[in-house]
Structure 1
Amino acid sequence: MKVVEHNLQQLQLLSTLLLQVEPEHYCQIKPWPGQPSVGKHIRHVLDHYQQLQLASHSKQLDYRLRSRDKDVENEPAKALYLIAHLTSWLRNLKTTDLDSTLSYQPAEGVTYTSLQRELDFVASHSVHHLALIHALLEQWDYAWPDSAGVHSSTVEYQKRCAP
């Protein structure tokens, strides 16, 4: 299940980062629009995974109902705990689970989606936020995997174009 593997990779990248980031860097707010911090971005990503996990059971998905847990935003250990929980959920998914139909609540009305499609979305969403996290941490010398913040389709394209 390639989509599950892609999500596991994104969560692993977040874990790798969380295991090395200093607490003061995790919580440091930048004077940019929205006053972002590494912790806020990680909490935001994990909120989306949590909502999708809930929807895999309830069959109703609404990303606007995210928990926005300040503890995850401020404490790397809480984020690591949540990643472990989400990783376990992803590893236990079966191929048949991916076809599950979910009722999706956009801003207006209701539509339908699948767990597979939403897993593709949250993986891409995670890539985007990892790129933003990279920008937030750029001033410090953290080890940063080349694949962090780069979508798998871009990596595949670059491999095809390499000399």
Structure 2
Amino acid sequence: MKQPVSDSNRALGQIVDENVHAIGQLVQLLDQMAGTFYRQCFGFRNQHVIGKHVRHIIDHYSALLTATSGAGGLLDYENRNRDLSLEKDRRAARDCLEETVEALRSRFEGPCADELNMRHNSAGKHQTVKTSVERELVFLASHTIHHMAIIGMLAEQAGVKVSSDFGVHPSTLRYLEGHTNGMVYLDTFKNRYPHFVAMGKRDFGMDRVHLDEMVQICMVAPMVAEPLEWDSKELAALTEYTPQEQQKYIDKQ
């Protein structure tokens, strides 16, 4: 007789599905991308490479899977595998992503230890903090989608067609569905920054929002993720990319 699925197992399965969906989107994008684009350097300083972001995503999943492979495992995102060959070999990275999907499904399809220890380096001092499998899977979903947003930006620069929901957090899609009748952007998206943004005023008390601030607001609010470092290349890239998206929207009006 099949055992009933508990609420906790059902919730865990839903979080796994969210990760699987994001990884599946990434696999589909890699399938239509030439290997040269996967390894191509973008940006003013040639620091942005799709392969590096994909390898980084894989590393984080590998860290969680390693930590949960047996009793007493220690999650350590800092000392990751960092298989640099995955930055160059698109097919190998694609296969590794599919293996990650299978591992996530098999590892977390049933009951698992809720509590998990994580090694954290704070100002050079290591400490062990308590976390949980569910919490880390939630983090990994947001982390993956965040990097997919950057990957999508780079892929479009290389001429690869990217779906409108690629690299968009499910919470953002739900927000857009509920507030824009399924449209990707509100009409105010055509306004040049800085300008008044209702969400910026409502949630952060800001009368005018600059473009880099808008990126940070989207990271913290709709995407429920950590803000980017103000001097990071990721924030600079997204700030540079957004006006291009604005112009596409304006041209369609």
Report the TM-score, using the length of structure 2 for normalisation. 0.61
Separation (CA, whole Å) in 1 of partners of 2:36 and 2:133: 36
Is the counterpart of residue 62 in structure 1 residue 76 in structure 2?
A: yes
Give the gaps of 5 or more residues in structure 1: none
Which 10-residue stretch deviates more, 132-141 or 45-54?
132-141
Separation (CA, whole Å) in 1 of partners of 2:167 and 2:95: 22
Which has more helix, going by share of residues?
A: 1
Is the counterpart of residue 80 in structure 1 residue 94 in structure 2?
A: yes
Separation (CA, whole Å) in 1 of partners of 2:152 and 2:87: 16
* Matches for 1:29-48 after TM superposition, within 5 Å: 29-32=41-44, 35-48=47-60
* Matches for 1:1-163 after TM superposition, within 5 Å: 1-32=13-44, 35-58=47-70, 59-92=73-106, 93-97=108-112, 99-107=113-121, 108-163=126-181
Q: Does the CA-based 8 Å contact 2:155-2:162 persist in structure 1?
A: no
Separation (CA, whole Å) in 1 of partners of 2:130 and 2:38: 36
Identical columns (%):
32
SS at match of 1:94: coil
Separation (CA, whole Å) in 1 of partners of 2:175 and 2:43: 35
Separation (CA, whole Å) in 1 of partners of 2:146 and 2:83: 20
Q: 4+ residue runs of structure 1 moved beyond 4 angstroms? A: none
Separation (CA, whole Å) in 2 of partners of 1:135 and 1:143: 10
Report the TM-score, using the length of structure 1 for normalisation. 0.92
Q: CA RMSD in A?
A: 1.6
Separation (CA, whole Å) in 1 of partners of 2:39 and 2:117: 35
Q: Does the CA-based 8 Å contact 2:53-2:151 persist in structure 1?
A: yes
Give the gaps of 5 or more residues in structure 2: 1-12, 182-253
Amino acid in the other structure paired with 1:66: R
Amino acid in the other structure paired with 2:84: K
Q: 1:31 to 1:140 in 2, by over 3 A?
A: closer
Aligned length: 162
Separation (CA, whole Å) in 2 of partners of 1:31 and 1:143: 19
Query: Whose radius of gyration is greater, 1 or 2?
Result: 2
The higher-RCO structure (CA 8 Å, 6+ apart) is 1
Separation (CA, whole Å) in 2 of partners of 1:119 and 1:137: 26
Separation (CA, whole Å) in 1 of partners of 2:144 and 2:156: 18
